[in-house]
Structure 1
């Protein structure tokens, strides 16, 4: 058995920087990864999808926006192979750069293989080369992420479905992409493939996209998708799947009627589940919750002292930046003896549809449920100078403020570069600025952020 000071399982956006930081601090460290360095973000999530979305945006500009701006492009072609090649090159550059940095770090061993707990702070690793290693450490850090949840639908094991991982390996553009699930994954892939030329149908069990958002935001983005020509069936329950003549047919219930639609590709985007079952954490006494996520306290430590779970493995918000912040909390607490925690940290996020949906803080309905005295400001993008000038008038900006203190409680920005505008407002919220201060603040003209003035002027009407 080989003994380490620290073993990190999973080379994602928490595990990778943590392994390097601990090793540089003098800890004898091992990083175990069963697949690729970089985790979901670099290999199957943020990096490849946002790269594809950029290509889809270019197609959208050529097909629609350019003409509206007085530019006659005429016919153009989608080179799907080149689009995918560019995506692959960007992914490989990120992956290989991270791996090189890990291998150059002293005190850090990189092991490719699948780990399982076999005892108290002991793991067995079956390496990709066929070797079996037994390792132990004083500290363990679990960053194993999640995988696609496959719903229990009649016939699902008889159809060649795609996941958010395997869809990135397509060789041909689908003629008709069926998507089961209307969350972030389904919406981003749906819009990008529609813009590249596929017919797209989204079937979702919820009554609206993104049910945790306010109703006005949901209605706005649903309208945008329908305007883009995407077929959307909400409040729909998939009943069965069939595969004949290279076509996949979904039979589903919609508004009390049984309907069916067929396509040549099916993306399962109905949620994600933890991978802790593969790790067998119970063998080391680690507690998991009813959904399979590893239980942690606000310092991200499990019930077993010295064992931590970071990123999606602990059931927290499933965002790359939250996983990275988990690393910051654990690292600074262990190495600098600080007292950081997950309590009251902001949870900003951005969905990269076009326009983007970015949010931080409370929704209007959350504020009402808390019984707060609030005021709500709304500004359509058609009233934003920069949006009008660039032809990007779809969407809405919304802010919820405390009517007594004038502090900003939350914002939702459905707009081109909505994530950038939201980030400005997030900083203002953390600084304790009131909406009065932002209403009268000087922003450069004409920028999207300048619309923050106009947004809060709505509260004076």
Structure 2
């Protein structure tokens, strides 16, 4: 096995096809037939469903029967490695108990595999414990405070008396504890896998050790997630800075807050803190907000947030940060000018780093990039052919639904040898500011670089009846299509409910629908989702001269 595992040219050490080819493994098995989803690809012989397995008394079996669920009845067969003469302690070892790890464990147990999960911290990972659930709770509370203090409807008198952040945090913690218990902790026993508390590290390419216990799995999934990145800014470590994690645990509002970065996390937390009474300034080195978003929509969102009172210092380089008697001071350069900015607190929102330091990946012959993230192929397999990686620990989009989908696919590829690539062609992204921003598919620049001749349609906010009723004047819905076929290639929106709207665009792109399909379907009136149909209509006519629903 040592000689086999030493192959780092991309060939699978236990794949005869790879040994007979000069091409790397990822290039010898990339035909549609090789990527079939029913487990009949070239590596389906590595792990194959076997009726005989249940009768093999000398082969370890899973804990009591896996639960029968609506989607697992046809999959409740044990999986059997061809070289079953090797003694493995478990079929799938999962390092990390977050979204990717749990999705993989559920999929593996529904396949009848034995699963061991290792988690050193709190089950549930980033999203439920310190990420998206907390931030959306915080955003919703801030939205209600904002509406109480100021809203656009005449004749309705409201006011905001006070914000008790400590009471809000108490409610938040109760919600998180309930969700963690329901969606994570209870599932370990329900599906029947083993959970080990501790830190995992590789002892060699085939063995993982947790404390005093050694585990030799048939396959391993790395799902250890990521943490906030701390930039090498002079003076930063000498001041009490916040991260997205610690900011969502504050029980007292700072009077003023500087946020380093202006991406999704920075914008969401910035608006929430501002609406609760904190003066917020966002500082970013890049000269344009959200450069991955089409300019007219990024500018519309910036205008909406600036009108509300958020301050933006774009194209600004922070030289150092110092502690002052009242808080912190940033020394910055904007162009050729030097500036200073004082605030009560500073929040660092400049990206995330993978949690791989403790894994001892070099010993496992797993290559990493400059950030320390495992390098994976299209099937989520690392340079160690028995180890896969999924979730925020790798360079896939850092969304919980991407992590969960990757966990499911990684489990099937590891256990059944399906060699299925992880398709990221229609990944939605939602920024939960007010208004929201949502995107999916290609941008203009990406589509042009790919050789498409583009047809675009834009429905501004004033053309969408829901936005008129909401008194939300910013942004709108943009669609991009292939001029020749009419097929939808991308969609972006700034709207009150852009996150709900974008799901229809995800399905349209995934199923290769056209602008005609979007024009002809029945869109419910007085919804933001109607904006998608209006944008499709705008590609060929002036929607300002249409009656309602025409």
Range class of TM-score, shorter chain: over 0.9
- 1:233 maps to what in 2? 313
Distance in 2, matches of 1:174 and 1:19, equals 41
Q: Is the 8 A contact 2:230 2:350 kept in 1?
A: yes
Give SS of 2:477's match: strand
Alignment of 1:135 with 2:187, yes or no, is: no
Alignment of 1:321 with 2:401, yes or no, is: yes
Compute the displacement of 1:68 (Å): 3.2
Compute the displacement of 1:429 (Å): 2.2
Task: Report Cα offsets for 1:182-217 as digits up to 9, x if no partner.
Answer: 111111110110011111011111111211122222
Alignment of 1:110 with 2:195, yes or no, is: yes
Alignment of 1:121 with 2:211, yes or no, is: no
Task: Report Cα offsets for 1:386-426 as digits up to 9, x if no partner.
Answer: 11112233222111111111111100011111011111122
The two structures, once aligned, show a CA RMSD in angstroms of 1.9
Compute the displacement of 1:20 (Å): 3.3
User: Does 383-392 or 192-201 show the bigger shift?
Assistant: 383-392
Q: Is the 8 A contact 2:259 2:280 kept in 1?
A: yes
Q: Is the 8 A contact 2:386 2:414 kept in 1?
A: no
Distance in 1, matches of 2:178 and 2:522, equals 40
Compute the displacement of 1:232 (Å): 0.6
Alignment of 1:56 with 2:142, yes or no, is: yes
- 1:149 maps to what in 2? 229
Compute the displacement of 1:334 (Å): 4.8
Compute the displacement of 1:315 (Å): 1.2
TM-score (structure 1 length as normaliser): 0.94
User: Does 238-247 or 2-11 show the bigger shift?
Assistant: 2-11
Q: Is the 8 A contact 1:24 1:107 kept in 2?
A: no
Q: Is the 8 A contact 1:185 1:269 kept in 2?
A: yes
In 2 relative to 1, CA 154–211 (structure 1 residues): closer, same or farther, beyond 3 Å? same
- 1:129 maps to what in 2? none
Q: Which ranges in structure 2 are unaligned for 5 or more consecutive residues?
A: 1-86, 542-550
Q: Is the 8 A contact 1:8 1:30 kept in 2?
A: yes
Distance in 2, matches of 1:99 and 1:325, equals 16
Give SS of 1:140's match: strand
- 1:97 maps to what in 2? 182
Distance in 2, matches of 1:406 and 1:334, equals 38
Distance in 1, matches of 2:358 and 2:261, equals 25
- 1:20 maps to what in 2? 106
Compute the displacement of 1:91 (Å): 1.1
Equivalent residue in structure 1 for 2:261, among 166, 176, 181: 181
Distance in 1, matches of 2:174 and 2:475, equals 33
Distance in 2, matches of 1:225 and 1:324, equals 32
Q: Is the 8 A contact 2:332 2:339 kept in 1?
A: yes
Equivalent residue in structure 2 for 1:33, among 111, 119, 123: 119
User: Does 301-310 or 446-455 show the bigger shift?
Assistant: 446-455
Compute the displacement of 1:136 (Å): 2.6
Alignment of 1:74 with 2:162, yes or no, is: no
Compute the displacement of 1:343 (Å): 4.1
Give SS of 2:539's match: helix
Give SS of 1:428's match: helix
Which structure has the highest strand share of the two?
Answer: 1
Q: Is the 8 A contact 2:225 2:393 kept in 1?
A: yes
Compute the displacement of 1:218 (Å): 1.8
Distance in 2, matches of 1:388 and 1:326, equals 39
- 1:43 maps to what in 2? 129
Equivalent residue in structure 1 for 2:97, among 1, 11, 15: 11
Compute the displacement of 1:261 (Å): 1.1
Compute the displacement of 1:69 (Å): 4.5
Compute the displacement of 1:112 (Å): 2.0
TM-score (structure 2 length as normaliser): 0.79
Q: Is the 8 A contact 2:103 2:405 kept in 1?
A: no
Q: Is the 8 A contact 1:177 1:267 kept in 2?
A: yes
- 2:36 maps to what in 1? none
Distance in 2, matches of 1:6 and 1:96, equals 23
- 1:340 maps to what in 2? 420
User: Does 15-24 or 155-164 show the bigger shift?
Assistant: 15-24
Q: Is the 8 A contact 1:12 1:40 kept in 2?
A: yes
The 5 A counterparts of 1:172-251 are 172-251=252-331
Distance in 2, matches of 1:421 and 1:71, equals 29
In 2 relative to 1, CA 107–27 (structure 1 residues): closer, same or farther, beyond 3 Å? farther
Distance in 2, matches of 1:246 and 1:143, equals 41
Task: Report Cα offsets for 1:208-267 as digits up to 9, x if no partner.
Answer: 121112222221111122111111100011111111214111111113211111111211
The 5 A counterparts of 1:413-452 are 413-452=493-532
Count of paired positions: 455
Give SS of 1:68's match: coil
Q: Is the 8 A contact 2:102 2:184 kept in 1?
A: no
In 2 relative to 1, CA 50–57 (structure 1 residues): closer, same or farther, beyond 3 Å? same
In 2 relative to 1, CA 407–118 (structure 1 residues): closer, same or farther, beyond 3 Å? same
Compute the displacement of 1:146 (Å): 1.2
- 2:74 maps to what in 1? none
Distance in 1, matches of 2:137 and 2:117, equals 28
In 2 relative to 1, CA 338–140 (structure 1 residues): closer, same or farther, beyond 3 Å? closer
Distance in 2, matches of 1:319 and 1:453, equals 27
Give SS of 2:523's match: coil
Distance in 2, matches of 1:361 and 1:293, equals 25
Distance in 1, matches of 2:325 and 2:386, equals 55
